[in-house]
């Protein structure tokens, strides 16, 4: 039998991360599970706890009374299980969780409060109301190996019990373990690593290394490119609204070229003498997942290298198999048959745990000297443990094969849906990084709402484009579920 006391009162030895439950959460869970029948229980519990403020955590005595009351009700075993489970995943109500964010979070981004994920399982998440959704965002590609990850959890638990952190410059075993295995996944010659904690930092450090190596400062980035929000990364991000509030819109060291237009790159190189080019090989955030053309990539590599320049390939989102065209294409550059001079990697790298890196070759690496950079947390043992386990999982699960098969299934499915639903216009993408346009942003919002009703979680959009980044472990059945849901959702907005 379930003991409700154990989910109402935080057991600090087993769950130091939890607090005691609030009455508001208990009542919400009853509503989630019992539907309209919950009201009597709400009144009884309020009386039983002598009008305890709804958002105050219960004490042991109140928890005892609630627990006894719940265990005396003639609930169906499924209901008992659901109540217990939902309370164990969250002891704070949905409304309070949202209010806390609204009150105390610096509003740097649009707050997504349409659903609150509390438990993941493979490609699925359960929200605080007990509904399950197929996650088609994977946290911008960070949770490709699963919305939960028991193996990483165990590895992190073990490592935290040994040594929880170690500064970047000291030798440590977790990192040595990682270095013994990682080279088999990297593009040829990219052997030198410098770890960071976010994609933006990895981009910043790539720029620093490129500047140190070339002895130049001029950078060419691309229109509709996105590289993150740190000072350097946002400086090379195209959308002016991200740069202007911070005075980063008229920089004399950054120029933006037309994507897939080699003449424009050449024009800017001629004008500024730039030797550093940064690009996403599949433009994500700002372009709805638009791949570079092979012709452009070949011409860019030829042009930049013929002038002694360097190319920074930002694979923070596209990397770790997401854009594979053949097995073993761990990075988009591999599927284009080119090797960049520097590569920024992140997101899926740690299976959801924050770890990123700049990777480069020996010659460029040698331009960095002791004292040029440093980091307290970069490549710490927890991050290295997560990266080791996540990258092993990618190989063990043959993720690039899955990406190729699921991508084919998705693009065929989308083409069929486009023929059926005129609201669906262009389709673009590569691998499991894709999107389609629906004519207006209003249609995007409507479609996202309809998809949520069909148990699909998708929050990514660019103007009239919906963007999708499913987990790279997504199965054949899950893709079929997504396509069916999309069909239903599209018929509602036609
Ligand atoms: C291509 C690319 N580069 C860099 C970043 C920044 O990564 P982070 O949010 O981890 O700083 C992102 C984030 O979406 C990205 O898509």
Domain ranges of the chain: 5-104, 117-144+399-493, 150-396
Question: For residue 277, what pLDDT is reported?
Answer: 98
Atom of ligand 1 nearest to the CA of 142: 10
Q: How far apart are CA 90 and CA 93, in angstroms?
A: 7
The dihedral over CA atoms of 460, 194, 401, 189, expressed in degrees to the nearest 10, equals 130
Alpha-carbon Rg for the chain in angstroms: 25
User: Of the residues 143, 144, 347, 430, which should be mutated to test ligand 1's pocket, given the most ligand atoms within 8 Å of the CB?
Assistant: 347
Question: For residue 3, what pLDDT is reported?
Answer: 87
Answer yes or no: CATH 1.20.58.220 is held by domain 117-144+399-493: no
DSSP β-bridge partners for residue 430:
433
Q: Are 404 and 327 in contact (CB under 8 A)?
A: yes
The residue contributing the CA closest to ligand 1 atom 8 is 199
**Closest to 482 measured CA to CA, from 359, 471, 326, 492:** 471
The residue contributing the CA closest to ligand 1 atom 2 is 227
| Structure confidence by residue, pLDDT tens digits, 136-189 | 999 999 999 999 999 999 999 999 999 999 999 999 999 999 999 999 999 999
Does the predicted model carry a pTM greater than 0.75?
A: yes
Question: For residue 51, what pLDDT is reported?
Answer: 84
Could you tell me which residues come within 8 angstroms of residue 82 by beta carbon, excluding any fewer than 6 positions away?
Answer: 32, 33, 130
Q: How far apart are CA 1 and CA 72, in angstroms?
A: 12
Indicate the SS3 state at residue 387: helix
The residue contributing the CA closest to ligand 1 atom 5 is 228
Question: For residue 469, what pLDDT is reported?
Answer: 97
| CA 73 to ligand 1 centroid distance, Å | 50
CATH of domain 150-396: 3.40.640.10
Could you tell me the CA-to-CA distances from 289 to 68, 427, 433 in Å, in that order?
Answer: 54, 10, 6
Q: Are 460 and 468 in contact (CB under 8 A)?
A: yes
Atom of ligand 1 nearest to the CA of 201: 11
Q: Are 452 and 125 in contact (CB under 8 A)?
A: no
Q: How far apart are CA 374 and CA 370, in angstroms?
A: 9
Q: Ligand 1 pocket, 238 CB below 6 A?
A: no
**Closest to 219 measured CA to CA, from 356, 311, 300:** 311
Which residues does the chain have with pLDDT short of 50?
Answer: none
């Amino acid at each position: 039998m379930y003991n409700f006391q154990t989910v109402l009162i935080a057991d600090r030895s087993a769950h130091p991360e939890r607090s005691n439950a609030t009455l508001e959460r208990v009542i919400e869970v009853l509503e989630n599970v019992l539907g309209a029948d919950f009201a009597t229980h709400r009144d009884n519990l309020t009386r039983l706890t002598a009008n305890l403020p709804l958002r105050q955590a219960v004490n042991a005595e109140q928890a005892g009374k609630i627990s006894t009351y719940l265990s005396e009700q003639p609930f169906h075993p499924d209901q008992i299980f659901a109540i217990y489970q939902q309370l164990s995943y969250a002891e704070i109500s949905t409304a309070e969780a949202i209010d806390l964010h609204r009150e105390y979070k610096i509003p740097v981004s649009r707050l997504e409060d349409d659903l609150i994920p509390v438990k993941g399982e493979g490609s699925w998440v359960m929200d605080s109301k007990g509904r399950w959704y197929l996650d088609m965002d994977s946290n911008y590609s960070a949770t490709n190996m699963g919305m939960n990850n028991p193996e990483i959890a165990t590895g992190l638990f073990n490592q935290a019990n040994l040594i929880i952190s170690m500064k970047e410059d000291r030798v440590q075993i977790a990192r040595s373990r990682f270095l013994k295995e990682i080279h088999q996944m990297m593009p040829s010659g990219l052997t030198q690593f410098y770890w960071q904690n976010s994609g933006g930092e990895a981009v910043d450090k790539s720029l620093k290394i490129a500047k140190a190596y070339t002895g130049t400062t001029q950078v060419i980035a691309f229109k509709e490119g996105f590289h993150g929000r740190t000072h350097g990364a946002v400086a090379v991000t195209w959308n002016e609204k991200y740069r202007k509030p911070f005075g980063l819109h008229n920089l004399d060291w950054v120029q933006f070229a037309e994507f897939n237009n080699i003449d424009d790159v050449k024009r800017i190189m001629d004008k500024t003498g730039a030797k550093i080019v940064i690009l996403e090989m599949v433009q994500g955030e700002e372009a709805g997942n638009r791949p570079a053309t092979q012709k452009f990539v070949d011409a860019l590599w030829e042009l930049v290298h013929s002038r002694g320049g360097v190319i920074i390939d930002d694979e923070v989102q596209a990397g770790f198999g997401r854009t594979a065209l053949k097995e073993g294409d761990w990075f988009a550059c591999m599927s284009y048959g080119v090797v960049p001079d520097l590569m920024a990697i992140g997101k899926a790298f740690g299976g959801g745990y924050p770890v990123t890196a700049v990777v480069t070759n020996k010659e460029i690496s040698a331009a960095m000297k002791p004292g040029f950079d440093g980091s307290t947390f970069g490549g710490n043992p927890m991050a290295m443990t997560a990266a080791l386990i996540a990258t092993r999982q990618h190989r063990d699960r043959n993720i690039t094969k899955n990406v190729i098969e699921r991508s084919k299934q998705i693009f065929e499915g989308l083409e069929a849906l486009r023929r059926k639903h005129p609201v669906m216009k262009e389709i673009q993408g590569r691998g499991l990084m894709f999107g389609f346009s629906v004519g207006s942003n209003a249609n995007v919002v409507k479609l996202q709402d309809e998809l949520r009703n069909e148990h699909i979680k998708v929050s990514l959009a660019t103007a009239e484009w919906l963007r999708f980044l499913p987990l790279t472990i997504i199965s054949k059945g899950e893709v079929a579920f997504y396509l069916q849901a999309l069909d239903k959702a599209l018929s509602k907005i036609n």
